[in-house]
Each structure stands twice: as structure tokens, then as C-alpha cells.
Homo-oligomer: A and B are copies of this chain.
């Protein structure tokens, strides 16, 4: 299955990257350079780089959703939606890096560290406007609605940093907005672009939201137990930063001794020692956070498949890529 997903994403890159590049080329001078740097196409001095960038998971969902409802994945409206979703995703990354003061993204210095906070904000604004300019009509309205939901999720995420009574339900709701919404929107836009009926669009939206939750749960597991050589993040980065990721909040919400140990470690007002970091990692696991997150991710994929069953009257073969991408999400290692 994993190979099928990779092949779908490779086909996505071949089809969508030219549309994405043509769109970004329309941005004025320096804003174009910042976007091209952020997308991994150029170095800070404008030298072309051999397309590192992201996995194009969201454009992949747009194309696969269009195919799943019987449309063509090479329809220009589908490709424009796919490029718009990727632009909207990268607008959120640019602003989130500013907001979270993150120094590194995809193994490179973040755009704001290179071009300044002001210019990273402006380049993000321009990428959002560009995304909404690329698609018209119902799709633009749907994508704009999704962006508002993402902003709400990021707002909640920031506010959680200042609270120590965040519940697991609040975290799941926040992740649904911050991550799930755009994966749902990607699927919905793919279906909308080929004029699928509203029920199919809604079912695909729900499918995308569920795999979005599985994606976030997997991301959070990799943030604690991922192989640094593969993820590009230092060991235990999320725990070191005292991130209230889903496995951590699940662990803290239990009443075991391990939950108490984890709470005490999180309350330490200083960097962890190597021993404390191992202890915290172990405590999340003993308090059930790891098992809960893995089980929840699998349950979300199962729910996603159920939505898919109601999404379409076309043969299951057309759903192949969507299913493959869903399966890949919990099995990935970076």
C-alpha cells in the first residue's frame, strides 16, 4: 500500500508543481523570492535548489478525491485547487513559524530568520491571497472558510501554552481545526472541482478530516519516538519544548503514578537533563499516552474508510489512491 501512496504523490508532484510554480512566478519580486525559499525551490540568495519541499500530501488528496468521484485528476480546475491548497498550507507554515519563533523547517532555517519577521508575514499574506485567487467560485469560498478554521485552531494552540488545565477533548478539537480542516478541505475541493454532488463532497470532507487527525496523532508520536535521522528533529524535541501534544495530554489525563511523574517533569522551570528526558519519554508510555495515540490513529483511519464508503457511487478502484494515502499516514516515519 505504501508504494501505491508514494506513486500517487509522485504523480501529484509532476502534475501540480508546474501550476504551483507558474502561480508563484506572478508574485512581485521579493515576495516571490521569500515564497520560493520557503517552498524549497531557491536558496536565500536565489540559487535554484533541486526541489526539496514538502510531500505534497494535500494536493495528492485533491487529485485522489477528484478521481474517487469519477472526475479527471488532470482537469485544470483540479490542478488549480491542488496548487491553491498547497499555497494555503504554506501560508500557515510561514505565519506559524513567526508566531512560534521556530528556527528550523524541513532541515533549513525558517523564512523569518532569513528575511525578517515583517517580510515573512507579508510573504504569507501574499501566498494566502494567491491561493484564493487561483481558485474561483465555491472553491475559493470553501478554502477561505477553511483558512478561518485553521486560524482559530492556531489561536487555541497558542492559548493552550499559557494554561495547565487543557483537556484531551480540547486538544482533539484544536487539532481538528489546525490540521484536520485543511485535509478535509483538500478532499472537498477535489470533488468540487469536478462538480461532484454535495453529499459526496461532504463525505470526502469528513474522510479528509479523519485522516487529518490520524496524521496529527502520528506526527505527535514521531515528535517523541521518531528517529532523529529520519525526522530531522532532535531526540525528544517535543518533550524538551514541553509541547502539549496529544500523547502527552492523554498521558497527563490519567491517574497513574506515571502521569504524576510526567506532570512534575513538565512543571520543571528549566531544560531537561538527558536522564529527565528519558524519564519523561518513559512516563508518557507508562501512563498510556503512546498506546492511546496509536489506537486512536488507527480508529480514525477506520472511520475515514467508513466515510469513503458513503462518498461515491463509482467503483472502488477509483478510490485506490485515497485509501493508499490514508494507509500511508499512520505508517510513515517522517
Q: Which residues of A contact B (CB under 8 A)?
A: 27-31, 91, 95, 98-99, 117-119, 121-126, 128-130, 132-133, 136-137, 140-141, 144-145, 147-149, 151-152, 154-155, 158-159
Contacts and interface: CB of A to CB of B under 8 A. Distances in A.
Total identical chains: 2
Contacts of A132: 129, 132, 140, 144
A125 B95 contact: yes
Given A128-B128, A133-B145, A122 B140 contact: no
Contact of A147 (B30, B125, B145, B158): B125
Contacts of A28: 148-149, 152, 155
Given A124-B125, A128-B128, A129-B151, 19 more contacts: A27-B148, A28-B148, A28-B149, A28-B152, A28-B155, A31-B151, A31-B155, A91-B125, A99-B121, A118-B158, A122-B151, A122-B158, A125-B125, A129-B145, A129-B148, A133-B141, A133-B148, A136-B137, A140-B140
A151 B133 contact: no
A121 B98 contact: yes
A91 B121 CA distance: 12
B30 A155 contact: yes
Contacts of A158: 118-119, 122
A42 to B, nearest CB: 17
A154 B95 contact: no
A126 B151 contact: yes
* Dominant secondary structure at the A interface: helix
Contacts of A147: 125-126, 129
A192 to B, nearest CB: 13
Contact of A126 (B118, B123, B137, B152): B152
Contacts of A125: 91, 95, 124-125, 128, 147, 151
B31 A152 contact: yes
B129 A133 contact: no
Contacts of A159: 30
A130 B155 contact: no
Contacts of A141: 133, 136
When A and B form their complex, which 10 residue pairs have the shortest distance between CB atoms, in order from nearest? A133-B144, A28-B152, A129-B147, A129-B144, A126-B151, A99-B118, A132-B132, A122-B151, A126-B148, A129-B148
6 contacts: A28-B149, A31-B148, A91-B125, A125-B151, A126-B151, A130-B144
Most buried by B among A31, A98, A152: A152
A135 to B, nearest CB: 9
B155 A119 contact: yes
A122 B149 CA distance: 11
Contacts of A137: 136-137
A262 to B, nearest CB: 27
A100 to B, nearest CB: 8
A29 B152 CA distance: 8
